[in-house]
Amino acid sequence: MPPAHATLPPRDEMLRAFMASDTSYEGLFYTAVRTTGIFCRPTCSARKPKPENVDFYRSADDALAAGFRPCKRCRPLEVADAPDWVQRVLDEADRVDRRWSDAMLTERGVDPVRLRRWCKQHLGMSFHAWVRSRRLGRALGSLRDGESVDAVAFDHGYESSSGFRAALGTTFGANAAALRDATPLAYRRLVTPLGPMLAMAEEAGVVLLEFLDRPALTAELEELTTRYRYAAAPGDHAHFDQLARELAEYFDGRRQRFDVPLAPRGRPFDRDVWRRLLDIPYGETLSYGELASDVGKPGGARIAGWACGRNRIAIAIPCHRVVAADGALTGYGGGKARKAYLLELERGATRVFATPT
């Protein structure tokens, strides 16, 4: 699963990549120039500064928090998707079930170390771990369809059923019999102007949509596995296509409410709070105290805030629309800067569009 934090490449390596506008480092770091107060993508075509004036940040959010402004030329807030050299390998690995070696990657002109670093940053795991998890995700679906363990192992390229059973235990923490009763949960990385997000979905709808750097993400994933008996693996789902499209429309100011099916998992009080969040009008806010009163807990601003914090479906269930009694932007897991951005986006779009689209 994606980590809460990721490390930067060595400074000398980042400096070389930035000076050369190396496209293979897109998304791995952001470059900030102290003399101009501006931060850029690694591939920015603007005139290069002196090395001693350059700082590096893991994310655009970190650069913003440090007081730097986004470059108008390379537009670092418009986060790039996988570069072509990465996408080609991911597509091939997705089409064919096989075990990959570093030698196979080198034959395709791909540096295994660079690919591993990109995958750790954006997928939360190494390329080889992603391939293994992808194969197991497909196999899990076959198990739930009633196929035998031996048949599933053979169909998905495992050399033996014992090896397949061991892989299931390592990845999902359960044996094949237990996983027949688990609910498959597909996940995919989605690109947004505020950074990459992790989306997870089952047939009932989207279960999770979180920024990859959210500190509570690891605990949320563990709860989905232990309390709600999900078995997560990278995979495709029709909900992801709809969610990605609606997110793009939202960030363009053309969507005020999400239509993609949602399947939030939580306690009864939490679900009451989340339903009320969905009713907060686009472009408006509600205080935590008002939220508590609306769900039958007057004086319970703190517990209403905790319920907002347990919301695993950011943006679509708009907990960013809840603020302190004095209007302060507190209590958002994605960070104060993102909360401010989302509220300003909605207020600006409300001034332009009189009715929902």
Residues acting as catalytic residues: 40, 319
Q: Report the alpha-carbon distance of residue 139 to residue 137 in Å, rounded.
A: 5
C-alpha 234/C-alpha 211 separation (Å) is 16
- Do 140 and 164 form a contact (C-beta atoms < 8 A)? no
Nearest to 197 by CA among 184, 188, 185: 188
Nearest one of 193, 334, 210 to 253, comparing CA atoms: 193
Sequence length of the chain is: 357
What is the rounded distance in angstroms from the CA atom of residue 93 to the CA atom of residue 272? Answer: 42
Ramachandran angles phi, psi of 256, nearest 5°: -110, -15
How many CA atoms are closer than 13 Å to the CA of 269, on its beta-carbon side? 14
Element containing residue 63 per DSSP (H, E): helix 60-65
Antiparallel, parallel or unpaired: β 230-234 and 183-190: parallel
322-323 and 286-287 beta bridge pairing:
parallel
Nearest to 67 by CA among 30, 90, 89, 34: 34
CB-side neighbour CA atoms (13 Å) of 312: 24
Residue 294's CB is within 10 A of a number of other CB atoms, namely: 16
- What burial class does residue 68 get, using C-beta atoms within 10 Å of its C-beta: 0-12 exposed, 13-18 middle, 19+ buried? buried
Q: Using an 8 Å Cβ cutoff, are 311 and 277 in contact?
A: yes
CA quadruple 129, 131, 136, 138: dihedral sign: positive
Among 155, 123, 126, smallest CA distance to 139 is for: 155
CA–CA separation, 108 vs 79, rounded Å? Answer: 26
